[in-house]
Amino acid sequence: MSDLLTVTSIGEAPADFVRGAGSVVAEFAHLTQDSGNVSWLVDVGDRRLFVKTAGPDTPPPPGAAVPYFDHAGRVEVLRNAVVVARSCDHPALPRLLNVIESPGGPALVYEAADGELVGVRAAERPDPTSSYQRFAHLPSERLLGVFDVLVDLHTALAAVGWVAVDLYDGCLIVDHGTGSLKVVDLDGYRRGPSRNEMGRMFGSTRFMAPEEFELGAVIDERTTVFTLGRLVWHFATRLTESRSDFCGPAALAEVVQQAVQPSPEDRYAGVAPFAAAWRSARGR
């Protein structure tokens, strides 16, 4: 069995250990990752793993994306990701297989997710061959089926107290042929209601709730409801944001439009009632 799955502590840099533990298929470096994290896809025998670390404790080189956190902050959110993964067993979450402690923080070893990341850089979104465009133009039932799973996952997460933060299309890995979904990078999720202590919180403005821009505002399940609704509306209207292009029934469009009301008081009170209305409109 691979050391990546059995070793729980190392005395060297995670990068050196990972490169010696298998065949690196891809590296996602802090030069391109907005978070400042460094991750790898690694083949170990007939198994593919995804390993995520906090990256180096050094200033980013010129030209690097600006990290959300300093190194200590990145370590903290990775430890939060471990809590998220261990608190909820859902088929849409890639399994966390191991946590390896190192001088540079934990290395999280996940099963690799099959499929393509829906989110792409802004310049690539108009490209009809991009995963973003192909996802938005899946057959209606397959597209809505992906969102069935996303809503179900967040019902399970909310049941154990999690509120979505920084959930966007870059968290969705979809097999366009089967419609299977994996949701990744939930590191910033918060346990229970909290206050917006930042002003403009982390996330994509395309999917963020108004309270995620308001210092001191309450961040709770109604925030999750908004983001879920925005993801559905954006893609189920085939990127037009027009109700006339919504690919589901009128009853479902009404459910989603209530979810994305600007005032939290006008949305569903939580993920469970939103999910119940979603299932009813879907005839499930």
Res 31 pLDDT > 80 = no
Res 28 pLDDT > 90 = no
At 13 the pLDDT is: 86
What distance in Å separates the CA atoms of residue 133 and residue 113, rounded to the nearest whole number?
20
Res 68 pLDDT > 90 = no
DSSP three-state, residue 63: coil
- What are the CA-CA distances from residue 81 to residues 53, 85, 96, 190, 256 (Å)? 11, 6, 9, 10, 28
pLDDT digits (tens, 9 = 90+) for 215-254: 999 999 999 999 999 999 999 999 999 999 999 999 999 9
- What are the CA-CA distances from residue 138 to residues 135, 236, 248 (Å)? 5, 9, 12
pLDDT digits (tens, 9 = 90+) for 33-63: 566 789 999 999 889 999 999 988 877 666 6
Q: DSSP letters of 139-204?
A: -HHHHHHHHHHHHHHHHHHHHTTEE--S-SGGGEEE-TTT--EEE---TT-EES-EE--SSS-SS-
Homologous superfamily in CATH for domain 3-111? Phosphorylase Kinase; domain 1 (3.30.200.20)
| Mean pLDDT (whole number) for 193-204 | 95
What distance in Å separates the CA atoms of residue 225 and residue 258, rounded to the nearest whole number?
9
At 136 the pLDDT is: 98
Domain extents in the chain: 3-111, 116-282
Domain 116-282's class? mainly alpha
At 64 the pLDDT is: 60
Q: What percent of the chain has pLDDT over 70?
A: 94
Q: What percent of the chain has pLDDT over 90?
A: 83
DSSP three-state, residue 44: strand
Res 4 pLDDT > 60 = yes
At 34 the pLDDT is: 64
What distance in Å separates the CA atoms of residue 175 and residue 189, rounded to the nearest whole number?
24
